[in-house]
Amino acid sequence: MPQNTATVVGAAGSKITVAISSGTIVNVAWYPPAPAGVAAPVFNGQVITIPSLPPGDSTVRIDLSWAPGDDDAEVRYPSGTPYAVVDYIFRHGQAGTVYLLLLFGT
């Protein structure tokens, strides 16, 4: 995946935080598994943290569940304010319970 198609681009080694606006995060993990020594992504509520962005291409799998009445979700980067909406997760879409966050470390 080239840099221009990544959802989030950041400096390699930097901490990255991304938030979703709807749905419940059930699990996050590198996809495929990251090389040895790369810290695992973590989540708290609707915020995903990548402790140290690997150089080049990487992908984080985000497993979601939806409650009745949940709307489609915005993917926001950075997670605080101000933020930009960098992608959308459509709850009734083809893969509404799994979202692949595409990253690129420069």
Residue % of the chain over a pLDDT of 90: 74
For the cut 90, the answer to whether the pLDDT of residue 46 exceeds it is yes
Whether the CB-CB separation of 76 and 84 falls below 8 Å is answered with: yes
Whether the CB-CB separation of 61 and 34 falls below 8 Å is answered with: no
Residue-number span of the structural domain to which 65 is assigned: 3-105
For the cut 70, the answer to whether the pLDDT of residue 1 exceeds it is no
Strands (E), the chain: 8-10, 16-20, 24-30, 42-44, 47-50, 56-65, 73-77, 84-89, 98-105
Residue 35 confidence class, pLDDT cut points 50, 70, 90: confident
All residues at 6 or more sequence positions from 62 whose CB lies less than 8 Å from its CB, including other chains: 20, 25, 27, 28, 43, 48, 98, 99, 100, 101
pLDDT in tens, 75-94: 999 988 899 999 999 887 65
Task: Please give the pLDDT value at position 64.
Answer: 93
Task: Please give the pLDDT value at position 102.
Answer: 96
For the cut 90, the answer to whether the pLDDT of residue 22 exceeds it is yes
For the cut 70, the answer to whether the pLDDT of residue 95 exceeds it is no
Mean residue pLDDT of the chain comes to 91
Count of the separate structural domains present in the chain: 1
